[in-house]
Amino acid sequence: MYAKRLSLSLLDGLLLLLLAGVLAFLGYRVSVQLNYQWNWGAIPQFLFRYDAESGRWMANYLTQGLLTTLRLSLWASLLALVFGFAVALARISNSLYLRLLARTFTELMRNLPPLVIIFLFYYFLADQLVFLTGSGRIDADSHPWLTRLSTIFLAPPAQIAPFVSALITLAVFESAYVAEIVRAGILSIYRGQWEACHALGLSRWQSLRYVILPQTLRRMMPPLAGQLVSLIKDSSIVSVIAIQELTYQGSQLMASTYLTFEVWLTVAAMYLLLTFPCSILVERLNQRLNRLQERSA
| Alpha helix stretches (DSSP H) within the chain | 10-28, 44-47, 61-91, 96-111, 114-120, 126-133, 144-153, 160-187, 191-199, 204-207, 213-234, 246-257, 260-296
Distance CA 271, CA 279 (A): 12
Tell the smallest beta-carbon distance from residue 86 to another protein (Å): 22
Distance CA 149, CA 1 (A): 55
Instruction: Give the gyration radius of the chain's Cα atoms.
Output: 24
Tell the smallest beta-carbon distance from residue 203 to another protein (Å): 8
Nearer to another protein, 104 or 203 (CB): 203
Residue pair 66/161 in contact (Cβ under 8 Å)? The answer is no
- Give the binding site for another protein (CB under 8 A): 192-193, 195-196, 198-202, 206, 210-211, 214-215, 296-297
Nearer to another protein, 125 or 289 (CB): 289
Nearer to another protein, 146 or 187 (CB): 187
Distance CA 290, CA 297 (A): 10
Nearer to another protein, 56 or 295 (CB): 295
Tell the smallest beta-carbon distance from residue 213 to another protein (Å): 10
Nearer to another protein, 135 or 207 (CB): 207
In the chain, the amino acid numbered 224 is L
Tell the smallest beta-carbon distance from residue 249 to another protein (Å): 46
Tell the smallest beta-carbon distance from residue 208 to another protein (Å): 12
Tell the smallest beta-carbon distance from residue 210 to another protein (Å): 6
Nearer to another protein, 57 or 210 (CB): 210
Nearer to another protein, 103 or 219 (CB): 219
Give the CA distances from residue 275 to residues 68, 232, 239, in Å, rounded to whole numbers and listed in that order.
Answer: 15, 7, 18
Distance CA 238, CA 249 (A): 12
- Which residues make Cβ contacts (< 8 Å) with residue 187, sequence separation at least 6? 92
Distance CA 53, CA 66 (A): 24
Tell the smallest beta-carbon distance from residue 192 to another protein (Å): 4
Distance CA 260, CA 254 (A): 5
